[in-house]
Amino acid sequence: MSKRLFIKKDNCPQSHACPSVKVCPVGALSQVGFNAPVIDYSKCIACGKCSNFCPKKALVLGEQN
């Protein structure tokens, strides 16, 4: 099993610049306006820094079969 990052858009207020975007060490998160962030899975290393940093728990690192 491997971990994969998911976005729970219902948890994301989408009313501000996402603070987790700047925490990603490989630039896998991006955001247009105040929309929910977008994950570039070709860059994401599933380190969990963004999910640990997200105050609303909208970014979740979960198990994937």
The 8 Å CB, 24+ separation contacts for 41-47 are: 41/4, 41/5, 44/4, 44/5, 46/2, 46/3, 46/4, 46/5
In this structure, what CATH number is given to the domain that contains residue 18?
3.30.70.20
pTM of the model: 0.89
Mean pLDDT estimate for the chain: 94
| Residue % of the chain over a pLDDT of 70 | 95
Q: In the chain, where does DSSP find H-type helix? A: 49-53
Which residue range is the domain that position 26 belongs to?
A: 2-64
Q: How many domains does the chain contain in total?
A: 1
Q: What is the band of 2 on the pLDDT scale with cuts at 50, 70, 90?
A: confident
